Every structure is written in structure tokens, then in C-alpha cells.
Amino acid sequence: MRRNSFALFLLLLFGTLLVSTALFWHTREQGLADIRQHAQVSLGRYITNLRHQLARHQDLPRLLADQHQLKALLNDPDNPQKTDEANRYLARVNATMGATDSYLINSNGMTLAASNWDQAAPFVGNDYSFRPYFQQAMEGGLGRYFALGNTSRVRGYFFSAPVRQQGQIIGVTVVKVDLEDIEGSWNDPLQDILVMDEDGVIFISTRHQWRFRLLPKPGLLTPDPQLLSRIEGSRRYERVQLQPLPLQQRDTTPRGNQLLTMKGEEASGHYLLVSELLPDVGMRVAILANLKPLRERIARTLVAGLGTFWTLAALLLFLRARHRMKVRHQRELQQAHEALERRVEQRTHQLTDSNRRLKQEVEQHRQTQSQLIQAAKMAVLGQLSAGINHELNQPLTAIRQFADNGRKLLKRGRTEAVAGNLEEIGGLANRMAAILQPLREFARQHHAGNTHTTLAQLRRGVMVLMGAELEKHKARLYWPDEQDNLAVAGDQGRLEQVLVNLIGNALQAMTETPLPRIDIHVQASTAQVTLALRDHGPGLSEQALAHIFEPFFTTKSTGLGLGLSISHRIVESLNGELIAANHPDGGAVFTLVLNRMHKEPA
């Protein structure tokens, strides 16, 4: 036994390790793929934005190179008037186009005019012959270059173009663009943007501490000293001490994912590096995606997977123990079989008596429920009695007047006029019968069966029952008649009881509403008909929504709280559904879903 237990323990331990390893690597690879895909989408969006920002200014130097004010100054650099005109022209263009700075350089690299000529540290008089963008333009090409401004100490991207005259290059126009806005518009806390030059120096980053840090080439944790010397010699980031990012580890997965581990004051954690080279602008754009969500995803997967594994293992162990117990007790069960048969025979009589009593109790509960529904009907009829009296009073008064007139006409021998009065009395009697018919149908006790009714019958019955109550509250009931021919499962009386209860509750909910209104919206499908009854009252509280259909729960100061409970039971007995909710624009909505019948009621 001890040996079997040890073997089982080793098996469970091996299974746990196997499941953990499989879940870890599968979740890690899937998670890295998802993070990489998300990072690539973000990278493409950022590159598009970056290209858009640069494209706005890339043609401006060529336009400036054709302006006569600038060419005139290059031909006469010592003329103060031409210098002033060129300075002011560059300032206007710069303000209009939204560039950071615009300036004009002669063929020796000396700045003759600049848009910031009137500021504290103007470019005028500075020598930029060492800048690659100047050298590229002097060679006849269009220059593009990123650098830290020698004078302004502001990061910028420089566009340049040669100024030609009679086939000769006599100067260079330069436009500097500030990329601060692109950097500040990024707001994803799990992704950091890096924009680097061709040497790996970060000049745009969502982390302020990473600016002018250096990302070593793949496979290296620290930059090449010769590379640092060459960058310093280019004076591209003059008076800036370049430091590498605090890389602690750098790996490349078999699927080509670059994983970086950083540990430092400005950054600490694990990242996935996704980058793209933009050779036309001399940049490499990268995204460092934080792998913290991946670790959390792996932890959740391991917890769920190992929990499932141990649950299944526990179930198998339980079934195994149960089987062994069954085998062990099979002999005892066989011996107890005869005694059990005797006890079963004794208990059979007891269960038969209990079953009979249970059936009697169930029947009593059904009768009680039916009586309770009928009592609720009678209670509603009692509340509506004043309105019914009002409806019947008018035809009764008219019948009394026609009868008195008939007696007077008989005394005068005017039998034809008497016949007319009797005909009017008959019509009024039919009108009273039409008023009382829905009341009799509503009041009588119904039994479950395969019955159905139309929405037209329901609407007529409800208006007879609730007409006076609506008039008393000065309320309007909007029930469109376009779908009156729809037939639903259920007898008219019980459905009227549900609707009368819902309308009555809606009227009580709108006692403080200046213009009470009830809207009934009808929708139909091939299988169901839905009636949504909405009031314009204060709506239902969270507590009321949670207990609205429970017996004896009420939000009113009077009443037993049985109306909605009984209505809910009636709808369930018809295989329908009654749902309570609040309307987005205010008020409560009770949705009545009934089965649709595709034939007219008999």
C-alpha cells in the first residue's frame, strides 16, 4: 500500500510538471504573439503620424530656395536692407507653416538670415558647415538630418535644399521641425515609443529619461567605444553625455522576438522590442511593449490549468477509491440485500401514504393559488367599481328617461313614438351588456387550457376595465392598433388581469407626474409577441428590481405586494416571460413575452 501511494505521488508530481511546462510555453508564445501584433499595429500608426508631420515641411526648403529675397541676400551678403528683408520673410514663412526655425546659409556654411533673428539667441552668424544637412545640400541633394541644436539646445529634424543660380549652388535653405508634439501625444502606459538615429541614439521617447540614451546593436548590452567616439566627433549631440540603456539581458526567441530586460532607476522590467527602419528619413522607430500583462496572463493560465488538472486528478482518485470501496463492500451488500428487501417492503407502504398526502397538499396548493389569483381579480374589480358605476350610470339614466317618456306617450296613444323609445332602450341595454361582458370575463375563474386571444380583444377589455381609472388620473394610454390581429397563447381573462395590474401600478408610480403617460410598444416574431409597457414615473430602485416579483414585496404604503407575484406566475403558467427594468430615458418598463398563435381564436 505504501509503495502504491509513493508511485501515485510521483505520477501526480510528473503530471503537474508536465502540465505546468506545456501551459507556460504555450501561453508565453501565444501571449508574445498577441503583444507583438498589438505593438506592430501601434508602430504602424505612429510611423504614419511621424511621416505625416515630416511631410508637412519637407518641401518648404525647396520653395524657399526659389525666393528672390534670399537669392538677393546671397548675392549681396553685406547689404543691411536685404538682410532685414530676408529675416522678416523667413519669420513670416516660419509662423505661417508652423516650423520651429528657418534660416539661410551661404556656400561657406555661415548663416546670413534666420526666422529667429530678433530673439535672444539667433542663428545669424553661426557656422553650420559641419552639419551633414548642409554638406548634402551643397552636393546638390536634399538634406535630412536629426540633431540637437547647437544654439537652441532643442531637438529638431532638419530639411535642407540647395539654392541655385545659373547652374551654380550659391547657398542652402534650412527648415527645422520640432517633434515634441509627436512625443507627447502617445498615451499607452504599456508601450513606450523610441525613435533612434542610424547609430541607435534615442532622440524621441515617451520616457523623458531615455532621451539621448543609446540602444546597443542586437547581441550587445553595451555600445562599441568606437561608435561612441564617432558620434561625439560628429557634434550631432554636442555637450550631451550619451549613456546606454540599462540593459541587463537581451535574448532573441526562436520565432524572432527580441526580449529586453532592464534594471535601473528610470526603467526596470521585461520588454518586447518591435522596430522598423525608415531609411528615407534616417530613423529607426521602435516600440518597447511591457511584458507585465504576459506574466499576469501566464500566472492566470497556470492557476486555471493546474486547478483543472488537480480537480481531475482528485476526481480520478475519488472514483478509484470509490471503486475499491465498492469492491470491498460488495460482499457486505450482498449479505444485507435480503434485509434491505424487507425494509423496502415496509417503507413502500409508508411512502405510498406519504405520496398520497403529498398529492393532496399539491392539489391544495393549486387550489390556493387559483383562489389567490381570483381574489386578486376581485380586489382589482373592487378598486375599479367607481369607474364601472360611472360607465353604467349614463345608459341607466337614459333608460329611465326613455321609460318615463314611453309611459307619457302611451297615455297619449302615440304607439309609434313608444316603439322608438323601446328601440333606444334596447340599444342602451346592449351597450351596458358590452360594458359588463369584459367584467364578467375578467371576474370569472379560468382554467389552464389551449386557449388564445387577440390583441384587439385584450385592448378592448383593458380599456373597459381601466378607462375610468385612466380618466381619474388624467393619464394617456398609447397602445397602437396596427397589430391588433396578432393572436397570443392564453385566455383573455388572465391576460387582462396581468395588464390591468401593470397599468394600475404604472398609474400609482406616476402620482407626482404632471402629465401621466403610459406607452405600450408591440413587437412580433414568428414565435413570440412582445408587449413593452413603459411609464414615465421615477423608475425602480435596485432593491425593487431584485425582489419585484417576490410575494409580499411592495414599495407602496398599502397593499400586500401580491399583484406582480401573481402576474408573474400567470405569465409563467402560459410559458411566457415577464421582465422588469428601467428605461434609459426614465421610468419603468415591464416587458411581457407571450407565445404567438398563428390562427384566429374560436
Per-residue burial over 335-360, b if 16 or more Cβ lie within 10 Å, else e, is: eeeeeeeeeeeeeeeeeeeeeeeeee
Judge contact between 267 and 280, C-beta under 8 A: no
- Highest-pLDDT range among 74-88, 256-270, 561-575: 74-88
Looking at residue 256, what is its pLDDT? 76
Least confident of 160-164, 377-381, 427-431, 543-547: 377-381
DSSP 290-331: E-HHHHHHHHHHHHHHHHHHHHHHHHHHHHHHHHHHHHHHHH
Grid cell for residue 113: 538670415
Looking at residue 570, what is its pLDDT? 86
Superfamily of domain 60-178: PAS domain (3.30.450.20)
Q: pLDDT digit string (tens) for 372-425? A: 555 555 555 555 555 555 556 556 765 776 677 778 777 877 777 777 767 767
Strand partners, 568: none
Residue with cell 393572436: 487
Q: pLDDT digit string (tens) for 464-520? A: 778 878 888 899 999 988 888 999 998 887 888 899 889 988 998 999 888 899 999
How far is residue 590's CA from residue 506's CA, in Å, rounded to a whole number? 10
Grid cell for residue 216: 546597443
pLDDT of 602 above 50: no
Q: In the chain, what percentage of residues exceed pLDDT 90?
A: 19
Mean pLDDT of 571-594: 93
Q: Is the pTM of the predicted complex or chain greater than 0.85? A: no
Enumerate residues 6+ apart whose C-beta is below 8 A from 559: none
Compute CA distances 187 → 158, 207, 238, 271, 579, whole Å.
26, 11, 30, 17, 43
Structural domain spans, the chain? 60-178, 294-415, 451-597
Which CATH architecture describes the domain 451-597? 2-Layer Sandwich (3.30)
Strand partners, 570: none
Name the H helices within 473-599: 492-509, 542-547, 563-573
Q: In the chain, what percentage of residues exceed pLDDT 70?
A: 80
Sign of CA dihedral 154, 210, 238, 108: negative
How far is residue 451's CA from residue 534's CA, in Å, rounded to a whole number? 27
Looking at residue 284, what is its pLDDT? 83
Q: Is 171 exposed, middle or buried (0-12, 13-18, 19+ CB in 10 A)?
A: buried
